[in-house]
Amino acid sequence: MLFEEYTYFNHKFPDPQYLGAKHTHLAWIKKFIPDNVKTAIDAFAGSQSVAFLFKQLGFKTITNDFLNFNHQIGLALIENNGIKLTEHDIKLLLQPSKCKNDFHLIEKIYTNVFFEKSEAEFLDNFRANIPLLSNSYKQALAYTVINRSMTRKVTMGHFGHTQALRYASDPERIRRNRSLVRPLKEIFEDLLPKYNTAVFDNRQENRSYNKNILELLPTLDNIDLAYFDPPYCDSHADYQSFYHLLETYTEYWQDKQFINGIKRYEPQRFSGFDKKRDVIASFEKLFVQAEEIPVWLISYNNRSYPSVEDFEKLLSKYRQVKIETKTYHNGRGGKGSVAGSQEILFVCNPKKKHFISANQPEQLTNERI
């Protein structure tokens, strides 16, 4: 196993540009993963960096996210054990589409919002060609890389603002980030090799799901470790507003409303973890469903709701809890990662039960359930 671990760590996870992504915390999180894990789930996978770590460690990896564009990353880099995009595939994706009249959503909705017309038309044409790829893993890689290209193209790497085109004409911002004025085609071609080389086989049947975790978890069993990285409620939890364009592009909806200045889709998907009115009940349901999983690691933030103290009390009803902390010294974007805020990791193990021996009524013995 030792040599396999070294082999798997030769594959580098492509750096994400995603609010709350844990790629800078992986070495820290890894310290709290037990040695005897065989199967692990990343339940709120987002950018998939923690799931990728599990795969590198040789675990059978189950990854899940309720947003489809994140699920596509899971298909491309976690479930996929060997399929890559070839030169032929790239030509197929970039060729003029034969059904382009049916694909004009981005040009229609997002021209002069995030992209100039020519770039929006390029995205529509590319999207029309994705179904021509020969299997779901190639398609997932195409979605993953073109979506990442869009975040490179837009200042701040998300779509929760209306300043993209103004920033793209600012010489000072262009000096700091040339991708603001680079064609999407060029960015895609630059990024693709990084994603192709991140595809590897860890000799496990890994799976990526696109479900609400409260629906998925009851269908799974024999999991040794659960990693929960829920939206940091009241911090930077609104991923559907920040990344609405990537979800719209992947789903290519024809039946949604597109509202406000950023043209976010409506209605949004129900999370259960991003609104104060829902989050406590959702956590309680999650913890009951995860009862049979021996170890939980839960990422959190000291600016989230409920507070760290209240969340620890909630967790303590179900598990023994140890709290680990890291302080952000430089802001990384989002309220939850401003300088001085703390990244929290709750390390949760089964409670110890106390049994009274029939022969020695006064002696207490501990036994792990």
The residue ranges of every structural domain in the chain are 1-65+202-232+273-369, 83-198+238-267
Among 312, 306, 157, 334, smallest CA distance to 237 is for 334
Pick the CATH number of 1-65+202-232+273-369 from 3.40.50.2300, 3.40.50.150, 3.40.640.10, 3.40.1160.10: 3.40.50.150
What is the spatial distance between Cα 142 and Cα 134, in angstroms, rounded to a whole number?
12
Torsion 237-250-22-285 (CA) sign: positive
Burial class (CB in 10 A: 0-12, 13-18, 19+), 139: buried
pLDDT digits (tens, 9 = 90+) for 212-261: 999 999 999 999 999 999 999 987 668 999 999 999 999 999 899 999 99
Q: Are 199 and 82 in contact (CB under 8 A)?
A: yes
CA 271 – CA 282 distance, rounded (Å): 9
Look at residue 354 and tell me whether its pLDDT is greater than 80.
no
Res 338: pLDDT: 55
pTM of the model: 0.92
**What whole-number percentage of the chain has pLDDT above 70?**
90
Say which amino acid occupies 162.
Answer: T
User: Which of 19, 69, 16, 332 is CA-nearest to residue 194?
Assistant: 16
Please report the DSSP string for 20-36 in residue order: T--GGGHHHHHTTS-TT
CA atoms within 13 A of residue 127's CA, in its CB half-sphere: 24
